Structure 1
Amino acid sequence: MSDVTRPGAGPVIGVVGGSGGVGASMFAAVLAVRAAAVLIDLDVTGGGIDVLLGLETEPGARWSGLHLAGGHLEPEALRAGLPRAGPCAVLAADVGELDPEAVGQVLGAAAALGPVVLDLPRAAVVERAAALLRCDLVVVLARADVAGLVSAHVLVDALPELPLGIVLRRADVDVTRAAQCLDVPCLGVLPPRAAVGRRFEMSRLPRATVRVADGVLAGATGRAWPAGQAPPARRALVLA
């Protein structure tokens, strides 16, 4: 995991959906805004987080515009070259695949600037593996119904041993029981997906999402997950 104790280093927080349609990219965007973080899109099948943020016509680099070739990437040059959504510099995915070495280099430069939020893919691809090596916390968004919890359990079991937290979106299963089934610390609860807007509006961030995001940030800066704390043991999913 990344060393968040070195001067200037920010926590790296990954966000991933336990299944499709739970609003993981939206949560990552709100989290990044609240942290004034660098927001990095690693989900090449997600359509581009710049589109979600309404930045698709804004100038600035996307992944296709980064030509690293093993060279040193200056943190300030990275920040200056990216489009912005309020306080966030945003690096959107606009290519079919990402080079894991480039991912590591970009994350190292971004973390030198402060907090970093990653929009992670659900698929176990090489770029996700490279990013997880640098994550201080991974937040899994899961829908609290049987299908959503089964999908989230499969995803959680496939992740390496690192600090994990779950954010539950209300559905058919009681959220307390849902968190117990996954055996991952519950960081917060969000309303059902149908009850919230799907468009990101900087001036109207969903209040429930903001509250949960602020709690996640408090933990990621050391007030809820002390350095060196082991991740919880994982068990079989039991809904009976």
Structure 2
Amino acid sequence: MDTKAGTPVLAITSDEELAAGTRRACAAADRDLHEHTPPVPRRVWVGAGHVVLDPDAARACVEADLPRRAGVHLVSSRAPGITEWQAAAAVGAESVLVLPGSEADLVVALARRVETAGGRGPVIAVVGGRGGAGASTLAAALALTCEKRFPGRRALLVDCDPAGGGLDLLLGIEHNPGMRWPSLIVEGGAVSAAALHAALPGVGGTVSVLSAGRGPGLLEPGDAALTAVVDAGRGAGDVVICDVPRQSRAVTDVALGLADVVVVVVRAQVRAVAAAGTLIAGLASANPNVVVVVRGPSPGGLRGGEVAELLGMPVLATMRPEPGLATALERGGLRLARRSPLRRAADAVLDVVAGDAV
């Protein structure tokens, strides 16, 4: 069993008196508070220690198809009637409280730990700031590096780009038996993590790869199927890495909305940095948690600090050229040496998400 003790309380209410009562209760329970308005990103909903919401917010969360979870409390400014009880039942609230009269009960509820079955693995989306930036290669490197950073956890590498040629080719496992996106059928909006790992090809027993297929008539993953796969991995405590196309499309928006952190890979070239700046500006609405990794070489000598200044945000890691990388990708797939620049960049990204993994 995993516990969420220090994670903030998520409050979703349009009533200022209810909001004020929730703030007082959080302060008394010594809990941080994150106030949000609908729509609530799935990652925020799942990651909160507790959720406090009013009936309108409860209905909005149900309509958004957010998953059932523990630690949900519905608050009302009046004695609950049929409308409030229906909203509470729909969202799976474990308590219905009238504020300010029941603030003491809310304090007690927020002070306790919420226990959930299974784990909560981090979700990382990797996207290239421009074509050829190396996002797919970094995504694969993240998956291969997870075992050392998160002992005992599996990595689930999810290919979200049907036009990318397939991550199984990049890893040299294209001949390994197992399912690819075209043959994966998700029924009822849910999938078992254990069944998923058993059905997918992998690397070294710790990395499972859900790759795009190849050939004519390829379709991108459906929104519901991608959400179900990511939720399954997250719920099993896996480290989920999504290789995301930068073009604006439904699958990109879904993957970005599910991610705890978005890694933008930027080539150390002026035009590439300019393109990445435009991309990052557009990411804010889907996910504000963006970090930058710079990939060399730089023909003009552009340094990581200069890239950070041009983008107006810090650079997490700067990768020098990887000796023999192109040859390795053509002959057997990506493997990481101990001093690999890719490994070091992956370590830097995993260090960022390690604090959020439960």
Gaps of 5+ in 2: 1-41, 50-115, 148-154
Say which is worse superposed, 4-13 or 110-119, in terms of deviation. 4-13
Q: How far is 1:21 from its partner?
A: 1.5
Query: Counterpart of 2:129?
Result: 18
Say which is worse superposed, 44-53 or 195-204, in terms of deviation. 195-204
Aligned counterpart for 1:107 among listed residues 230, 242, 255 = 230
Query: Counterpart of 1:88?
Result: 207
- Asked whether 1:163 is paired with 2:274, we answer no
Say which is worse superposed, 67-76 or 125-134, in terms of deviation. 67-76
Q: How far is 1:155 from its partner?
A: 1.2
Say which is worse superposed, 116-125 or 160-169, in terms of deviation. 160-169
How does the TM-score come out when normalised to structure 2?
0.59
Aligned counterpart for 1:201 among listed residues 325, 330, 334 = 334
Q: Deviations over 1:117-154 (max 9, x none)?
A: 11110111101111111100000000121111111112
SS at match of 2:168: helix
Q: Is the 8 A contact 1:27 1:209 kept in 2?
A: yes
Query: Counterpart of 2:70?
Result: none
SS at match of 1:52: helix
Query: Counterpart of 1:8?
Result: 119
Distance (whole Å) between structure 2 residues aligned to residue 205 and residue 124 of structure 1: 36
Query: Counterpart of 1:97?
Result: 220
Higher RCO (C-alpha under 8 Å, 6+ residues apart):
1
- Asked whether 1:136 is paired with 2:253, we answer no
Amino acid at match of 1:211: R
- Asked whether 1:30 is paired with 2:163, we answer no
| Structure 1 runs of 4+ with >3 Å offset | 3-7, 203-206
Q: Is the 8 A contact 2:325 2:334 kept in 1?
A: no
Amino acid at match of 1:164: V
Amino acid at match of 1:11: P
Query: Counterpart of 1:51?
Result: 169
Q: C-alpha root-mean-square deviation of aligned residues, in Å? A: 2.2
Query: Counterpart of 2:277?
Result: 153
SS at match of 1:150: helix
Amino acid at match of 1:49: L
SS at match of 2:139: helix
Aligned counterpart for 1:72 among listed residues 184, 190, 200 = 190
Distance (whole Å) between structure 2 residues aligned to residue 148 and residue 17 of structure 1: 10
Q: Deviations over 1:38-68 (max 9, x none)?
A: 1000011111111111111111011111111
- Cα 1:206–1:90 shift into 2, 3 Å: farther
Q: Is the 8 A contact 2:170 2:334 kept in 1?
A: no
| Larger of the two Rg values belongs to structure | 2
How does the TM-score come out when normalised to structure 1?
0.86
Q: How far is 1:104 from its partner?
A: 0.6
Distance (whole Å) between structure 2 residues aligned to residue 196 and residue 185 of structure 1: 29
Q: Is the 8 A contact 1:73 1:105 kept in 2?
A: yes
SS at match of 2:259: coil
Distance (whole Å) between structure 1 residues aligned to residue 230 and residue 307 of structure 2: 32
Distance (whole Å) between structure 1 residues aligned to residue 212 and residue 131 of structure 2: 18
Q: How far is 1:202 from its partner?
A: 2.6
Distance (whole Å) between structure 2 residues aligned to residue 201 and residue 30 of structure 1: 8
Q: Deviations over 1:146-178 (max 9, x none)?
A: 111111112111212421100011312222011
- What is the total number of aligned residue pairs between the two structures? 224
